[in-house]
């Protein structure tokens, strides 16, 4: 049995799970999320205050889907009850970030500003303090969507290994390289 797949998912107070036609719907105080279970070999059942994911056989693809769907449903339960939060830091002289409603404006050393409109499920906040790197805080109930938005923001200016300039996650360590050495005479 899969170590992840066999664990039951505990439902916190205020969270309900509904299963209809292979679509799992999780409702909670932070919103509502849906996930389709595309495998006929994996079954999802609600038993009291727990959600259990079972599989039909021990084939390798079935074992993989067993753990996958359990993890996806667990992330949905955590998302609608607590939510997910990611913080990104912009390192570089003159690099700025501002948020106006659901639009994130980035000045990253290009000839133009970059405007990124956020989906309604994601809340964005950009903070710039004097003598500190600008911070972008993203919050959502959907972990997959949040990760996708963070990856999109990071592609605008990836951290480079020589000076460390770019967009990185808070706490992320960038592996640095030494620059050129003096020519030998």
Q: Please report the pLDDT score of residue 152 as a whole number.
A: 96
pLDDT of 184 higher than 80: no
Q: Please report the pLDDT score of residue 116 as a whole number.
A: 95
Residue pair 86/150 in contact by the 8 Å Cβ criterion: yes
Q: Please report the pLDDT score of residue 185 as a whole number.
A: 58
The arithmetic mean of pLDDT across residues 77-91, rounded, is 95
Give how far Cα 135 sits from Cα of 96, 169, 181, 185, Å: 9, 9, 34, 46
Task: Tell me the two tokens of residue 160.
Answer: 């480079």
Q: How far apart are CA 52 and CA 37, in angstroms?
A: 13
Q: Please report the pLDDT score of residue 34 as a whole number.
A: 94
- Average pLDDT of the chain? 92
Q: What is the DSSP string of 113-173?
A: -EEEEPPTT-EEEEE--TTS--EEEEEES-HHHHHHHHHHHHHTSPPPTTT--EEEETTPP
Q: Please report the pLDDT score of residue 81 as a whole number.
A: 94
94: left (phi over 0), alpha (psi -120 to 50) or beta: left
pLDDT digit string, tens, across residues 35-74: 999 888 999 999 989 999 999 998 998 988 999 999 999 9
Residue pair 143/75 in contact by the 8 Å Cβ criterion: yes
Q: How far apart are CA 81 and CA 167, in angstroms?
A: 29
Q: Please report the pLDDT score of residue 137 as a whole number.
A: 96
The arithmetic mean of pLDDT across residues 146-174, rounded, is 94
Residue pair 158/166 in contact by the 8 Å Cβ criterion: yes
Q: Please report the pLDDT score of residue 148 as a whole number.
A: 96
pLDDT of 111 higher than 60: yes
Q: Please report the pLDDT score of residue 150 as a whole number.
A: 96
pLDDT digit string, tens, across residues 112-128: 999 999 999 999 999 99
pLDDT digit string, tens, across residues 16-39: 999 999 899 999 999 999 999 988
pLDDT of 182 higher than 80: no
User: Among 138, 133, 160, 164, which residue's Cα sits nearest to residue 150?
Assistant: 138
């Amino acid at each position: 049995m899969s170590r992840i797949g066999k664990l039951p998912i505990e439902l916190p107070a205020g969270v309900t799970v509904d299963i209809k036609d292979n679509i799992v719907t999780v409702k909670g105080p932070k919103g509502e999320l849906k996930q389709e279970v595309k495998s006929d070999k994996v079954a999802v059942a609600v038993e009291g205050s727990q959600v259990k994911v079972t599989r039909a056989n021990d084939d390798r693809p079935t074992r993989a889907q067993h753990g996958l769907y359990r993890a996806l449903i667990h992330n949905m339960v955590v998302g609608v009850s607590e939510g997910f939060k990611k913080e990104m830091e912009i390192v570089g002289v003159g690099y700025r970030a501002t948020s106006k409603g659901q639009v994130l404006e980035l000045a990253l050393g290009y000839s133009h500003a970059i405007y990124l409109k956020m989906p309604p499920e994601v809340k964005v906040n950009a903070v710039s303090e004097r003598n500190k790197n600008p911070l972008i805080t993203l919050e959502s109930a959907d972990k997959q969507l949040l990760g996708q938005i963070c990856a999109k923001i990071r592609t605008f200016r990836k951290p480079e290994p020589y000076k460390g300039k770019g967009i990185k996650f808070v706490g992320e360590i960038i592996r640095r390289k030494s620059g050129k050495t003096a020519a030998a005479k």
